[in-house]
Chain A
Amino acid sequence: MRATELAEAVRSGERSATEVLDEYLERIEKRNAELNAFVHLDEDRARARAAAIDETVAAGQDPGPLAGVPVALKDNMCRAGEPTTCGSRILGDWRPPFDATVTSRLSAAGAVIVGKTNMDEFAMGSSTENSAYGPTRNPHDISRVPGGSSGGSAASVAADLVPLALGSDTGGSIRQPAAFCGVVGVKPTYGAVSRYGLVAFASSLDQIGPLAANVADSALCLDVIAGHDPLDSTSVPDHFVPVSPAVDAGVEGMRIGFVSQLGSGSDGVGGIDPEIDAAAKRAATALEEAGATVGEASIPASVYGLSAYYLIAPAEASSNLARYDGVRYGARVDAKTTAEMMVATRTAGFGDEVKRRIMLGTYALSAGYYDAYYDKAQRVRTLMAREFASAYESFDVLISPTAPTAAFKLGERTADPMTMYVNDVCTIPANLTGDPAMSVPFGNNSAGLPIGVQVIAPALGEFDMFRVAGAIEEALR
């Protein structure tokens, strides 16, 4: 059942939150051992919460727009008193003493948080194979990855273990797993959703957003979590325009550009599966039939996105992850001196991918290489933002494939980091510019695996983005 319908049924007293929760917990019980989507369940708290919502309804009050809707959090978002591992060993059994802003906003809206989902360690990965708690599997084919790093959230929604989940997206970590699992995944404008209580990976790129089974549910969730938060200094102060009314608004008269470099053409980023390119172009045609005009948009700097990202994100990560030193929280490996203790703790606590990125970032920031790598990558970022700004003069919204391929097999890309990194080639540009972007399912490939189409809009252009996403979804009906 859709989250929007569930909330309505609970608000009207037609269904109880407790009964809804039981139904979902039963499904989790049945399927989680196989999928490994959840790393932690908060059953007792969820039951207490559902009972409290039922009491609110019985007392004639409104529990809020997400009344009784079970929601999962990616395990890099804090909920007071519950484990928050980030898919890493280094946080040990650390339990945050505070709620992330998204956690408190979901709760205030009546949602029932059921637990935490699996992820690549510190959100570094595109397959959820870098988790210290084992890989998550794709519900469409358990020999394949769900994508990453929000693979647990995407798989849990795809298998209907929860109707809604939150993910975080630094280079595509919401959108790519959404595409792989056949669900909707939204990366809002940078700063549109508070990052307070989200464990930092790359602070100038990270953004929280919803994963849902359909566009309307993702809109409902985004409307709840978006908005200014004084606890996050990068929070956008502007009023967030609710996107739920956009879903059915249609695309009559809109100008939509297909980003040519993110297709399978020869001037592009390369490696885009022609079947996926064709699906994205079919989506463009469907939008044209729905009343939009469609043209070709050009973002030549897209081809440098991957390189820029894999310098900037590791650089910021190397700084952010310096805090895991065994002093204030998380695991500690004892040693004779503090310096030795820090080395022992970090060496035992971090997995290989995290170590690679910390070293890459440390190197890119070091004297003698800063100008050649980090500074250059930041200039590419500006170049890309300029090209997007120029594309937005001709187009309201841009579209492209979400990921270059459909879901691949477990273990297929773990040996060579570059083969994993190219997964993010279509999603990275929107992180570098800060623009909102989302993935909408658009059919399956010849092997029966889901394909996602990406919609990108100018900063704070979520309303138009959801108009297009709604129309793409509608075209498949």
Chain B
Amino acid sequence: MQLMSERITRDEVAHVADLARLALSSDELDRFTTQLSDVLEHAADVEALDLSDVEPMAHPLPLVNVLRPDAIVRSVDRDAVLAEAPDVEEDQFRVPTILGDQP
């Protein structure tokens, strides 16, 4: 018997969480697996439709390539933006080490 909770497996939820940069506890993994399966189970009605002759719609408006005139205008002040950052050094965002050990 295909269990409802098999619409998305626990391993798949763990993989998706990893891709989305989220750490889940074992309990959370169980709970989210059941809950996400329920939503995907509901979405089975859409999955079952044959819509090969219907174009996908990404956006409700018929607007494409919206460009403004190429003129210099005032933008948001850099110092004001940096003032709200968690860590800043020499006018740049500072983050912990990216590769290997601390320099």
Contact = CB atoms under 8 A, between A and B. Distances in A.
B60 interface: yes
A75 interface: no
Nearest to B66: A233
A157 B95 CA distance: 43
B11 interface: no
Interface string B68-98: 1000000011001101111100000101111
B38 A416 contact: yes
A336 B96 contact: yes
A366 B16 contact: yes
B3 interface: no
A380 interface: yes
B68 A230 contact: yes
B103 interface: no
Main SS class of interface, A: helix
A136 interface: no
A346 B51 contact: no
Contact of B98 (A311, A337, A459): A337
Contacts of A363: 8, 12, 16, 36, 40
A464 B102 CA distance: 64
Contacts of B49: 304, 376, 379-380
B20 interface: yes
Contact of A359 (B20, B23, B85): B20
B63 to A, nearest CB: 7
A372 B42 CA distance: 13
Interface string A432-467: 111000000000000000000000000100000000
A417 B81 contact: no
A233 B54 CA distance: 26
Nearest to B68: A230
Interface in A285-329: 303-304, 306-308, 310-311, 318, 322, 325-329
Given A307-B46, A360-B36, A382 B76 contact: no
Interface string A231-266: 001101100000000000000000000000000000
Contact of B43 (A190, A355, A373): A373
Given A233-B66, A343-B23, A356-B32, A97 B16 contact: no
A418 B20 CA distance: 22
B1 interface: no
Contacts of A97: 76-77, 80-81, 83-84
A32 interface: no
Contacts of A434: 60-61
Given A376-B47, A376-B49, 9 more contacts: A94-B84, A97-B76, A190-B61, A204-B59, A340-B96, A366-B16, A377-B46, A386-B54, A416-B38
6 contacts: A94-B84, A344-B23, A346-B20, A378-B56, A380-B49, A417-B38
Q: Which 4 residue pairs across A and B have the least CB separation, nearest first?
A: A434-B60, A378-B56, A97-B80, A332-B86
Interface of B: 8, 12-13, 16-17, 19-24, 32, 35-36, 38-40, 42-47, 49, 51, 54-61, 63, 66, 68, 76-77, 80-81, 83-87, 93, 95-98, 102
